[in-house]
Amino acid sequence: MKEIHPLALFRLSVLGALVSRERLHRGELQTTIRQLAQCEYAIPHSQRRMLAEKTIQAWYSVELNIPRSWT
């Protein structure tokens, strides 16, 4: 079995609550992204502890294959 990159696992751990949802109510996506951006994380291979809302939005759009122009 191929080993999964630690950063890929980290991104999934951050996005898990969003990508596992069947449906988000109006405004819930931005609220959840804002909440995720306020958390501190142990980011692999980084000294940083926080993620920007734009970073989480970009990861989410890639995960769902959404064009970046939605933000």
Within-domain flag for 59? yes
Spatial distance between the Cα atoms of 18 and 49, rounded to a whole number of angstroms = 20
Total-model pTM: 0.82
Within-domain flag for 1? no
Within-domain flag for 44? yes
Tokens matching residue 1: 């079995």
Helices H, strands E: what count in the chain? 3, 0
Structural domain count of the chain: 1
Within-domain flag for 51? yes
Q: What is the pLDDT of residues 12-48, one digit of tens each?
A: 999 998 888 888 899 999 999 999 999 999 999 999 9
Within-domain flag for 33? yes
Cβ–Cβ contacts within 10 Å for residue 31, how many? 11
Domain extent for 48: 6-17+25-70
Within-domain flag for 54? yes
Within-domain flag for 56? yes
The model's confidence at residue 67, banded by pLDDT at 50, 70 and 90, is low
Tokens matching residue 32: 């959840």
**Phi, psi of 13, deg, nearest 5:** -65, -35
